[in-house]
Amino acid sequence: MKALVQRVTSASVTIDGVVRGEIGAGMVILLGIADTDTEADVRWLAEKCAALRIFDDGAGAMNRSLVDIGGGALVISQFTLIASCRKGARPSFHHAAKPALARPLYGLFLTHLASVIGRPVSCGEFGAMMQVALVNDGPVTIIVDSREEK
């Protein structure tokens, strides 16, 4: 399971012209789910994202987490994060989880992240075409991969 985490001052997701989720300061998490991912990957990644110290502590250092600042989280399912670009110019999505596996793991990630940060999480819609707007703060963008835990 892979997350591309962006520190933002604001973000929103729009589907069919309707804003479906939005946050102020916090993080946008683009979430890619692989065919080998499990509930253990979900728990580890949600907890890691919530604990990432990527927010300013007031002294110019990144020492505060999403939990510490009481920030928002906007989570977007994005199977393209699992793409392999090893051969040729066309990405392969062979290892991206099929919806039967990915959809419940995505839902579990949303639930677990909300539990860890102690507030609701905004999200897109699994499998939908979405427009994500954000103001990246810093910019700060970090890739977190649950395979790094092992």
pLDDT tens for each residue of 49-106: 999 999 999 999 999 999 999 999 999 999 999 998 888 898 889 899 999 999 999 9
pLDDT tens for each residue of 27-60: 999 999 999 999 999 999 999 999 999 999 999 9
| pLDDT given for residue 75 in this prediction | 98
Alpha-carbon separation of residue 137 from 27, 30, 41, 44, 64 (angstroms): 9, 16, 27, 25, 14
Contacts of 110 (CB under 8 A, 6+ apart): 75, 121, 123
User: How many structural domains is the chain composed of?
Assistant: 1
| pLDDT given for residue 92 in this prediction | 86
Determine the average pLDDT of the residues in 5-25. 98
Structure tokens at 146: 């649950």
| pLDDT given for residue 48 in this prediction | 97
Q: Distance between CA atoms of 104 and 132, rounded to whole angstroms?
A: 22
| pLDDT given for residue 149 in this prediction | 65
- 53 within 8 A of 119, measured Cβ to Cβ: no
Domain with 119 in it: what CATH number?
3.50.80.10
Structural domain boundaries, residue 10: 2-148
Q: Is the pLDDT of residue 150 over 60?
A: no
Determine the average pLDDT of the residues in 131-146. 96
Q: Distance between CA atoms of 145 and 137, rounded to whole angstroms?
A: 22
